[in-house]
Amino acid sequence: MLSIFLAIALAKAPTAPADTNFSALKVGPKQSISWISLRHFGAFDKGIFDTLRMDNPKVPNWNKLQPGSTLMLRRSLDRRPLPPQRQVELASRKAVVTTMTGSGEVRRKDGTLQPLASNLFLVAGDEIRTTKGSSAEIVIDNQSLLRLRENSRLRLLGIQDTVDAKGGKAGTRVALDAGNLWVKVRHWAGPLVGFEVKLPSIIAGVHGTTFETRVDSISGEMVMVREGEVSVTTVANPPQSLRVVKGFKAEILEDGTLKLTEVVWTIPDTWPDIFIDPAEVDDPGKLLDPNGAKPVGPQDKEVKRVERFD
């Protein structure tokens, strides 16, 4: 009889409110946990990863999330509302591979080799290589987004390196030895953290913008700007410098001089932007929509002199 009364009492008891500290996210195709974390928290590091694993103990394989499965995301992990300076202070001085298509490898600073894979942490001194038909997305210190195309070779020279700081800003530097690299530096990070891409003959200095660089035996070396502004300087002595703005490209000629040309993007960049500012939506819960990605880099149409880039 007592058990019956207890059952009735429990049935009438008010249900506990849902834990509003969490949001449920349905995993989309080809999404990694580092990509999800950066998109919805603005950051990914060991501490965040450990918390995600604790909150989602039934995930069988964190390096291969199942599309359609549900993750619980602790909203207190979201760093995007923090002041930019605080986000820079909390950064781990590391890079992470958020998306990997095809195959590639990383040569560690100690000379060891390992396959390039999603969620892999990288440090200064590592060298990344992609093979034919492959591509990789890398986020450096939660601030700089890099997309490495096929047959490319990239070296991480420094991540917020205070030894090589310029103008009071710690230096994040990479070297593209071959291939094609798309770069986006978050606007708020530009004034706080210096970012450079070194090609064999030129250096591109960035202040919160979107651009591409290319190194190959046919087209040579070039820097093409989709958004913002890039400062391009030759490594020769004396150096030459050019200010390259949206819709233009800088390339180095055989005689070592820099040439500035207008360029049109014949293929819009529709790869989803990993970074979303909370101010872009009314309800933070909407940020947890895997289909909410927006295309980046609108196609330029109004140009006087055109050179196609496919």
Q: Where are the domains of the chain?
A: 21-78, 84-272+299-309
Separation of alpha carbons 260 and 223, rounded Å: 10
Q: What is the pLDDT along the chain (310 residues), one digit of tens a residue?
A: 444 444 444 444 444 344 458 889 999 998 999 999 999 999 999 999 999 999 999 999 999 999 999 999 998 999 999 988 888 888 888 999 999 999 999 999 899 999 999 999 999 999 999 999 999 999 998 888 999 999 999 999 999 876 665 665 667 899 999 999 999 888 776 667 778 999 999 999 887 688 889 998 777 899 999 888 899 999 988 889 999 999 999 999 888 889 999 987 665 566 667 887 776 665 555 655 544 443 333 333 333 333 333 3
Separation of alpha carbons 194 and 82, rounded Å: 20
Residue 75 per-residue DSSP state: G
- Give the pLDDT of residue 89: 86
- Residue 212, classed as helix, strand or coil, is strand
Amino acid, res. 240: Q
- Domain 21-78 belongs to what topology? Membrane-bound Lytic Murein Transglycosylase D; Chain A (3.10.350)
Can you say whether residue 164 is alpha, beta or left, with left for phi > 0 and alpha for psi between -120 and 50 degrees?
alpha
The two beta strands, 95-101 and 121-122, are antiparallel
- Give the pLDDT of residue 20: 57
- Architecture label for domain 84-272+299-309: Sandwich (2.60)
- Residue 177, classed as helix, strand or coil, is strand
- Give the pLDDT of residue 284: 56
Is it true that the peptide bond before 191 is cis, omega within 30 degrees of 0? no
Separation of alpha carbons 145 and 164, rounded Å: 21
Separation of alpha carbons 149 and 275, rounded Å: 20
Nearest C-alpha neighbor of 244 from the set 194, 192, 209, 280: 209
Q: What angle do CA 184, 251, 157 make, to 5 degrees?
A: 50
